[in-house]
């Protein structure tokens, strides 16, 4: 079930919210939490009821191990339980997500013909697996608040975060759902609904619209069609904005849905294209995944405490595995490797500047702008691998971006460039258009880039309402208030969303596939 689907918006959410309101009047925490668990499991089972047994088995297994960890005094035994739990969780994840990948890889490398029935990837397995691994490790360390089995079920299955994050931690959720004040509040509902509508607007009006321009270019590259300069750049810029607004929209919708039920989530998306470095980018993009990889992989590997060389190795291992987490394809490995290389260069450059006593360029407008654009372009190049169906298709796009497949202007310019026309022709420039990329897409790209770079994000706009767990560092000058004017604006947004539903089929969020 998609957040932007008819059945969710018209049936599931209203019924879930209505009965939640009724139950909160009974002031019985078990009934309230039980209802949300039931609806969350129904939400998950809507995709494929068969895999309901998988998530329930995973919950029972991890809760039992958590109980053993809590009631075991022996440090050695606790460590064995934790290692066993992590191994089983990763084993199950590996079977469903990577078995077909490694068999195909083996067949290609060793020229073998091993075959297995195609294994269908269960929805959300990457997210609920990481959530529960973090729970086991934290329980081993002795940092888990008191909770019941029902509390744990809601912590894992709560539908706003179940499918694509954020990857929540137990200490963020347990205190909220065990609080006696956990019930329906009009303020929470209005704030949450506003955030949800903003996210829905981003997804339907921005992400799905710009996707129309990105998809043909990557399909052409996958079909071994040469992609020209403007065609390649148009396609990758369109996808760069598609994934931005898709994930930004989903993150807003998840935070908004949770807030409607009186629960605050951690921020998972914080204007990453405003980042002034790759280090800064990973503090803004999929924040809870970065936090997980840092706390449960990078730091246990030694982090930055064992010298620069070991630090760079740890960074590369972390980013390669982070890339592989996104999907069982070599393109994700290359994407993770590229970002690992980016981070190593970024850290090494900072260390070099510090050693020679050079001040940062990020203390003036020109330097900040240069750093933002450079970071944005580096990230965009990385998205080529992330989006492409194969490494060869990614290379075809990169060749096009470098002009290796020629440069083609739109035919309408032919005969209107004067002396420049012969100059361009001497360089091999043609006037055959932008190929698979529709030229009008560039206009939409410029508009969306302006929104990305020059407007406040949802958290900044609603800072005074504390929309998420973390305080907002840079509140917008214009703050959201439940006024008549704001109601009109939200009504207009909702009108455009509803109107688009008659012309566009609701599409999956990109991170639903991970």
C-alpha to C-alpha distance for 504 and 208, rounded to whole angstroms:
8
| pLDDT for the residue 360 | 67
pLDDT greater at residue 76 or residue 422:
76
**pLDDT value at 96 more than 60:** yes
| pLDDT for the residue 111 | 83
Percent of all residues in the chain with a pLDDT value above 90, rounded to a whole number: 64
Give the confidence band of 362 by pLDDT, cuts at 50, 70, 90.
low
Q: What 3-state class would DSSP assign to 316?
A: helix
Residues 117-140, mean pLDDT to the nearest whole number: 93
Residue 430 DSSP code = B
**pLDDT value at 433 more than 80:** no
| pLDDT for the residue 506 | 65
Q: Which tokens is 25 given? A: 């009047």
Q: Which residues contact 249 (CB under 8 A, 6 or more apart)?
A: 199, 200, 201, 202, 203, 204, 206, 207, 509
C-alpha to C-alpha distance for 22 and 18, rounded to whole angstroms:
6
Catalytic annotation, residues: 326
C-alpha to C-alpha distance for 466 and 459, rounded to whole angstroms:
8
* Domain residue limits, the chain: 6-184, 185-269+439-513, 272-405
Q: Give 463-482 pLDDT, tens digit per residue.
A: 988 899 988 888 887 777 76
**pLDDT value at 500 more than 90:** no
207-242 CB burial, b ≥16 within 10 A, e <16 = bbbbbebbbbbbebbbeeeebbbbbbbbbbbbbbbb
Based on C-alpha coordinates, what's the Rg of the chain? 24
Q: Give 17-56 pLDDT, tens digit per residue.
A: 999 999 998 888 999 999 999 999 999 999 889 999 999 9
pLDDT, mean over the chain = 90
Q: Give 305-344 pLDDT, tens digit per residue.
A: 888 899 999 999 999 999 999 988 999 999 999 999 999 9
Task: For residue 327, give Cα distances in angstroms to 53, 96, 106, 431, 513.
Answer: 23, 11, 17, 39, 8
Among 103, 122, 123, smallest CA distance to 113 is for 103
**pLDDT value at 237 more than 60:** yes
369-380 CB burial, b ≥16 within 10 A, e <16 = eebbeebbebbb
> Are 169 and 134 a contacting pair, CB within 8 Å?
yes
């Amino acid at each position: 079930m998609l957040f932007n689907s008819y059945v969710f918006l018209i049936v599931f959410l209203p019924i879930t919210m209505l009965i939640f309101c009724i139950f909160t009047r009974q002031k019985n925490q078990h009934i309230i939490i039980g209802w949300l668990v039931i609806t969350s499991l129904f939400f998950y089972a809507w995709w494929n009821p068969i895999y309901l047994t998988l998530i329930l088995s995973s919950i029972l297994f991890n809760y039992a191990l958590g109980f053993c960890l809590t009631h075991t005094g022996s440090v050695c035994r606790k460590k064995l339980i934790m290692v066993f739990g992590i191994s089983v969780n990763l084993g199950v994840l590996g079977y469903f997500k990577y078995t077909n990948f490694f068999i195909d890889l083996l067949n290609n490398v060793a020229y073998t013909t091993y075959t297995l029935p195609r294994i269908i990837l269960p929805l959300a397995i990457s997210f609920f697996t990481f959530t529960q691994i973090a729970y086991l490790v934290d329980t081993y360390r002795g940092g888990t608040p008191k909770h019941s089995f029902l509390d744990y079920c809601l912590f894992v299955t709560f539908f706003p975060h179940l499918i694509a994050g954020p990857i929540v931690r137990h200490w963020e959720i347990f205190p909220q759902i065990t609080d006696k004040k956990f019930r329906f509040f009009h303020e929470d509902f209005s704030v949450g609904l506003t955030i949800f509508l903003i996210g829905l607007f981003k997804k339907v009006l921005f992400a799905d619209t710009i996707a129309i321009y990105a998809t043909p270019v990557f399909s052409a590259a996958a079909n071994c069609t040469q992609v020209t300069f403007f065609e390649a750049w148009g396609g990758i810029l369109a996808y760069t904005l598609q994934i931005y607004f898709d994930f930004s929209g989903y993150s807003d919708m998840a935070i908004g849905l949770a807030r409607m039920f009186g629960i605050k989530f951690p921020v998972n998306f914080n204007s990453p294209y405003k980042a002034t470095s790759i280090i800064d980018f990973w503090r803004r993009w999929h924040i809870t995944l970065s936090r997980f990889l840092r706390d449960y992989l990078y730091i246990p590997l030694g982090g930055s405490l064992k010298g620069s060389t070991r630090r760079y190795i740890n960074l590369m291992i972390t980013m390669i595995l982070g890339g592989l987490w996104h999907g069982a394809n070599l393109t994700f490995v290359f994407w993770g490797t590229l970002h690992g290389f980016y981070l190593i260069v970024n850290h090494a450059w900072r260390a070099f500047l510090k050693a020679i006593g050079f001040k940062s360029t990020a203390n003036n407008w020109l330097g900040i702008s240069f750093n933002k654009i450079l970071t944005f372009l580096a990230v965009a190049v990385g998205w080529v691998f992330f989006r492409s169906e194969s490494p060869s298709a990614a290379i075809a796009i990169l060749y096009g971006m470098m002009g290796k497949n020629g440069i083609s202007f739109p035919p309408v310019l032919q005969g209107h460039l004067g002396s420049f026309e012969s100059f361009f022709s001497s360089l091999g420039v043609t006037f055959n258009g932008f190929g698979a990329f529709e030229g009008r897409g560039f206009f939409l790209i410029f508009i969306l880039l302006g929104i990305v770079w020059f407007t406040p994000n949802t958290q900044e706009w609603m800072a005074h309402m504390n929309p998420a767990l973390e305080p907002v560092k840079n509140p917008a000058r214009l703050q959201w208030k439940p006024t008549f004017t704001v109601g009109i604006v939200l009504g207009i947004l909702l009108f455009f969303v509803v109107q688009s539903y008659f012309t566009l089929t609701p599409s999956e969020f990109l991170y639903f596939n991970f």
